């Protein structure tokens, strides 16, 4: 999951990061959603 987050930040695709962000929320991974938001 860390690598995926780093790739999102490198690509700079906010729409894509938001999509994954929402998917993680549905899975209940609140800790990761926060990390992705901060990194992005």
Spans in the chain with pLDDT lower than 70: 1-21, 24-40
- What confidence score (pLDDT) does residue 22 get? 72
- What confidence score (pLDDT) does residue 40 get? 47
Q: What is the DSSP letter of 1?
A: -
Give burial (CB, 10 Å; 0-12/13-18/19+) of 29. middle
- What confidence score (pLDDT) does residue 8 get? 53
- What confidence score (pLDDT) does residue 38 get? 56
């Amino acid at each position: 999951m860390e690598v995926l987050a780093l790739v999102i930040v490198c690509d700079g695709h906010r729409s894509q990061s938001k999509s994954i962000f929402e998917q993680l929320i549905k899975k209940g991974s609140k800790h990761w959603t926060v990390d992705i938001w901060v990194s992005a």
